[in-house]
Structure 1
């Protein structure tokens, strides 16, 4: 409890500082940076599973309540950009893998799992059953997410035109009983999908349930910021706490490799997002956030912070996550077996 309270206090202070400085996505980026500084200052921070669960449920609620019938009308353009997203995921994985092998001499399993964009927990689980260097894989994945959260909001703010047609202007839910109903139904849906072993069920369930309540007219408006800000802080501290397994020397040494991989992934994501924006008629800033190779939770919560359409971003990040979760085990096993690299412990 002390580590949790410390983590939340430090994350809140970092988010508040970034908010006062006017930095984009302040509560997520600020809490992450503050938690990383704390970790390397030998301050113990923690985040229990129940608090992570609440953050995922609240994030799903936020995404679902942002869905409107106008969103449904715009969804006719989504299949085009989702198709380009799938191609972009393959391109990012291949390019980063080739970079790590040819430039740094990594073995195939380590390079492959360090390059997969998203689904971190599943990536690490699969990597542990191979000869992959788990520390390199973990550091590469965490540093890419670190740079995305730290730099992407500023990039998108700079790229976005002053008059963005998809900037959110939704009102918040006002009634207490509406909020209670929303949280209760969404929580039940989240646990139901989690019990059914649906990928990202704790977030997908609340997303679907809250969207259904919104579209049916049972509730009206988005969940209040009192839900979103704590979810930002929890997620930022979670990202920062992952670095507690590394020394500062390891972190510093991995920055160059991690930053290079981040740049490669970002350039390819920008190219894919640009093509998708052209063919679908959507703003480039929006497609870039949806195509960025970060986590489902971080990218969706960033959409709220940047006042972009969270339903679009969440749908694309969910497709990427579920595709990786469903296809990655068979695909990585096939690739590694062809290269004679499957098997071993990867300790």
Structure 2
């Protein structure tokens, strides 16, 4: 099969998985269904290929959608976030101090690989920096990919089963004909210009952050109050889930099982630390538990933003904390790497 047909097959399988999850009324059906269907197809040896070339466009759509939640009423509370951002820095240090040794001692990784597998940074950033420093890239990819998968699943189930939220963004319908042509043009402009501008400014997760920032500015200014239609958002989630699921193409089951056990352990440890910090934020800063958990959970920026949108949490708060987390880890990674490298030579 040609690469194009393999891409199409992956998307068909992802869409089928999303539809099945939707009909079963499972949390985050379009993304999680596509993710698990893509993962099953990859591990089952089907000739699928992730459509990575269109991923930036998909992420840009989600960025525009989340940026639409940056309303003046939400941003009136931004000054109160300084305390939670300061606590976030402490949280990052605690997570790194626990998870990096976990991968070294329990996973038997070398210190360099353990460092980039355990640091709570973005997937792409940790892969790029880790590869440049001589880490085992495959182990880093598995660690962070599974961290995102496990976090999404645990968080979605927690909010659906324990908290009783309808974690299903497709319930908030925006019809195609409900979006005016001027709003549609503005949102497309945010997606295109934001993606290119984010890359030019070298922002982390540029194709997501650039459109989100432009969309947020547009909605804060009052020039638009539109949002991408539900059909487009659901399609974007299927594409994103399919790409995530197909990341496991070529991975042996034995290798995946070992990485999954390690990822489950590290994710549970991180969520336990997050739980402690959530209670502190709730007790001393009056921040809602759900909102705090989504801001600290070790999932991807895009994915946690989608969950926040689904349960009507403050998307701006959640997104800002994940952006700061990624930026802090990127800045800390080179500074702390020399210490890790010295440990690795012992």
Fold-level match, TM-score > 0.5? yes
Deviations 1:102-147 (A, max 9, x none): 3343321122111112311121122223343333322222221121
Q: Is the aligned partner of 1:302 residue 2:304? A: no
- Find the residue that maps to 1:128 and give its secondary structure: helix
Instruction: After TM superposition, give the deviation of residue 162 of structure 1 in Å.
Output: 7.0
**1:219 equivalent among 216, 224, 232:** 224
1:144 corresponds to 2:143: no
Structure 2 equivalent of residue 333 of structure 1: 337
**After the TM superposition, which residues 93-132 of structure 1 pair with which residues of structure 2 at under 5 Å, given as runs?**
93-132=96-135
Query: What is aligned with 1:291?
Result: 296
Shift of 1:39: 0.5
Shift in CA distance, 67/157, structure 1 to aligned 2, threshold 3 Å:
same
Structure 1 position 62 matched with structure 2 position 45 = no
Question: What RMSD over aligned residues (CA atoms) do the two structures have, in Å?
Answer: 2.4
Query: Aligned-pair distance for 1:42?
Result: 1.0
Aligned residue-pair number? 337
Using the TM superposition, give the Cα deviation of residue 217 of structure 1 relative to its aligned residue in structure 2, in angstroms: 1.9
Shift of 1:246: 1.0
Q: Which residue of 1 aligns with 2:264?
A: 259
Output one character per residue of 1:245-274: Cα deviation in whole Å (capped at 9) or x when no partner. Answer: 411221123222221111111111121222
8 Å CA contact 1:131, 1:341 repeated in 2: no
State the Cα distance separating 1:223 from its structure 2 match: 2.4
2:231 is equivalent to residue 231 of structure 1: no
Q: CA deviation at 1:159?
A: 4.7
> For residues 19 and 164 of structure 2, what CA distance do their matches in structure 1 show?
26
Work out the CA distance in 2 between the residues paired with 1:170 and 1:249.
Answer: 42
Q: Is the 8 A contact 1:274 1:288 kept in 2?
A: no
Q: Which residue of 1 aligns with 2:323?
A: 318
1:39 counterpart (18, 39, 42): 42
Is residue 13 from structure 1 mapped to residue 8 from structure 2 by the alignment? no
Equivalent position of 1:273 in the other structure: 278
Return the alpha-carbon distance in structure 2 between the equivalents of residues 169 and 255 of structure 1: 33
- Contact 2:191-2:211 within 8 A present in 1 as well: yes
TM-score (ref. length: structure 1)? 0.89
Residue 334 to residue 5, structure 1, CA distance change in 2 (3 Å):
same
Match of 1:85 in 2: 88
Taking a change above 3 Å as real, the CA distance of residues 253 and 205 of structure 1, as seen in their structure-2 partners, is: closer
Q: Structure 1: any 5+ residue segments left out of the alignment?
A: 343-347
Equivalent-residue separation in structure 2 for 1:334 and 1:85 (angstroms): 24
CA distance in 2, matches of 1:240, 1:49: 12
Q: Does structure 1 residue 174 correspond to structure 2 residue 179?
A: yes
